Every structure is written in structure tokens, then in C-alpha cells.
Homo-oligomer: A and B are copies of this chain.
Amino acid sequence: MTADNHTALCVLGTGLIGGSLLRAAAAAGYTGWGYNRSAPGVAAAQEAGFDVSGDLPAVLGRAAETDALIVVAVPMPAVNPMLDAIAQYAPQCPLTDVVSVKSPVAAAVRRYGLQERYVGGHPMAGTAESGWQATDPGLFRGAAWAVGVDPGTDPYAWTRVTRLALDCGSVVVPVTASEHDRAVARISHLPHVLAEALAVAGARGGDLALGLAAGSFRDGTRVAATAPGLVRAICEPNSDALLAVLDETLTALTEAREALSAQTSLDELTAAGHAARQRYESAQRWEITDTEPGAPGWLEKLRDAGRTGGVITRLGTGAEPN
């Protein structure tokens, strides 16, 4: 962990992501505690030795006393009640979230008047599993963790959030809420939609088709194993961006269909797809070294860096905000 006396962490929701975060932060030396709505979820975390309870006012009261960083780690449909309680019990704490979509969370944060200390976050990690049983303190190691750089972002809160991500082993991708949402529609939400459609097409082939299925079908449908409710909670709040990229993809697939029908050719699609996958495989992250939270133009600089593959891998002393 980096030298910092702000190691109090309050995690609301201790499922796969929140629970893994609590475990990763504890391993990095943080003092963490959390809230979970379900009694079995609380019991599972407590059995593992973590300070998790179902008493939300108490959990948030402790956060207010210690200037803890509060992390909202519940699915989008459950965000409002958390913000409501935060506004009541701990409105001054730095606040972030790990929800898969950022603009709707930011809008909700504004509705509850919590925007001043809020910085959106999204660790790009997960599995098809869920619940405390699936938590893993190494879940975020090597992952990209999107951290918001929208206009007006508070440097202090931003530094707390970025430190947490780095201390959990992630690299930080600075990105605005709307650009984040458009990007994840492409690389997370569309993959879910296509995986569901592929699984359906395969199963319609019956036992014979499923018995012949090998790697391409297994990998292409892996995320269809995710609970439908979770997929909906991830994708539906991002419907505008998802619709745009889904339409783009329907157009591309329809063009490929026409070329296959008219010329028995998949030339264009396979050439473009292969080039795209090559670009993905060879994409290089580069390190942003001059991060100075609060310096003039720092948000724009970070946003531009993130757009071209820049990531933050450490915060120097120059990154200590006032």
C-alpha cells in the first residue's frame, strides 16, 4: 500500500465485487468494513473474519466518523436506497462505486446531492459467479479500473479512489462517465448480448449440436452462464449506448449475410474481424507519469491520456492533493 493515512474503507454490498474489494483492501492494509442486505451474506462474510453487518446506519456512521471512502457495490437497481442512506448518515465522505455503468449512477448521485465528493469507478473484473462464496482478493490484480475524470471532480476524492484501485493491484484508466458507458457497451454489454443469442442458436440445434460443440461455442457463450438478472442489471441501464452499438452490429451482420448469400463470401467481415482482434491483442497501455490531481487542466489531460491507452500505475508525492 502507498503511504497514506486514509485507509478507512466502507463497502456497501459484499457480493462478488464488493466482497472481493473488501478482501483485497484488507490484504493491502486497509481497515475495511461493510454492509450487506442479506443475512446469509452477512454471515458468510463474518465467518470469513470480515466486519460486515446488516445495520446500514451504524456502518455509515462509522464511515462519517473516520472519513472513510465509501464504495457503493450493489447492482444499479439497488443504488438509490444506498445513496439515500449515505445522504442521511455520511454525506461528507468521499464516495465511489463499482457499478458497471457510470452516467446513471452519476445522475442518481446528483439527485441525492452527493456529487461533490463522488468519483465514479468501475473495475473491469468479474466472473459468472456471484455472492461472497465467489469473492477473491486477487480479482482486481492486473485489471483495468475505470476512474472518473468528469468536469468538477474533487482531487481529494479522486486520489482516494485511485489509490484504492492501485492498492488492489489494478491499473487506472481515467475516463468520463459518458465515454465509459459507450466503451463498455462495446466490450462488455454487446459481448453479453451476443453470447445469449449464440447460446440460444446452439441449443435450438438440440443434443446433436450441443454434443458437437467445442471451443468456439464454449468460449462464445461463456458469459451467458451469468444470472439473467445480473446481465439485465448491467446492460439495461446502459440501453442508449448498447442500442447504438447493437444497431451497428446488426448492420455489419446483415451486410455479411448479404455478401454470403450473393457472393458466398465472408471476405469483408473476416478481414475486418481479424484485423480488429489483432489490434486488441497488440494494444499497448502506456503509463501516465505526470498525474497532478488539482493542477490546472488535470482532468482534461487525464481524459485525453485515457482515450489513447494511457493508464495510471502509481501516484507519486506530486499526486498528494491538499
List residues of A whose CB falls within 8 A of some B CB: 124-127, 143-144, 146, 173, 175, 179-180, 182-184, 186-188, 190-229, 231-232, 235-236, 239, 242-243, 245-250, 252-254, 256-257, 260-261, 264-267, 269-281, 283, 285, 306-309, 311
Checking B184, B199, B275 against A273 with a beta-carbon cut-off of 8 angstroms, the contacting residue is B199
- CB-CB < 8 A to A190: which residues of B? 198, 201-202
Given the interface pairs A173-B211, A194-B194, A271-B228, the reply to whether A187 lies near B205 with Cβ below 8 Å is yes
Q: What are 22 contact pairs spanning A and B, CB under 8 A? A: A144-B212, A144-B214, A173-B208, A175-B208, A183-B205, A183-B209, A187-B205, A188-B213, A188-B216, A191-B217, A196-B266, A199-B280, A200-B276, A202-B280, A204-B248, A221-B273, A225-B278, A225-B281, A239-B261, A246-B260, A250-B250, A250-B254
- CB-CB < 8 A to A285: which residues of B? 211
Q: Is the CB–CB distance between A197 and B236 below 8 Å?
A: no
Given the interface pairs A239-B260, A243-B260, A270-B231, the reply to whether A209 lies near B186 with Cβ below 8 Å is yes
Give complex CA distance A193, B201 in Å: 13
Give complex CA distance A262, B36 in Å: 33
Q: Is the CB–CB distance between B197 and A256 below 8 Å?
A: yes
Checking B191, B228, B243, B308 against A220 with a beta-carbon cut-off of 8 angstroms, the contacting residue is B191
Give complex CA distance A107, B187 in Å: 41
Using A183-B209, A194-B194, A253-B253 as known contacts, list a sample of 4 further A-B pairs with CB atoms less than 8 Å apart, ordered by residue number in A: A144-B212, A187-B214, A204-B276, A219-B220
Given the interface pairs A214-B144, A276-B202, A280-B203, the reply to whether A266 lies near B236 with Cβ below 8 Å is yes
- CB-CB < 8 A to A243: which residues of B? 257, 260-261
Q: Is the CB–CB distance between B197 and A273 below 8 Å?
A: yes
Q: Is the CB–CB distance between B257 and A247 below 8 Å?
A: yes
Give complex CA distance A260, B254 in Å: 20
Q: Is the CB–CB distance between A193 and B248 below 8 Å?
A: no
- CB-CB < 8 A to A199: which residues of B? 272-274, 276-277, 280
- CB-CB < 8 A to A270: which residues of B? 196, 228-229, 231-232
How many Å from the CB of A1 to the closest CB on chain B?
A: 24
How many Å from the CB of A261 to the closest CB on chain B?
A: 6
- CB-CB < 8 A to A211: which residues of B? 144, 173, 283, 285, 306, 309, 311
Q: Is the CB–CB distance between A306 and B208 below 8 Å?
A: yes
Q: Is the CB–CB distance between B273 and A214 below 8 Å?
A: no
Give complex CA distance A183, B126 in Å: 31
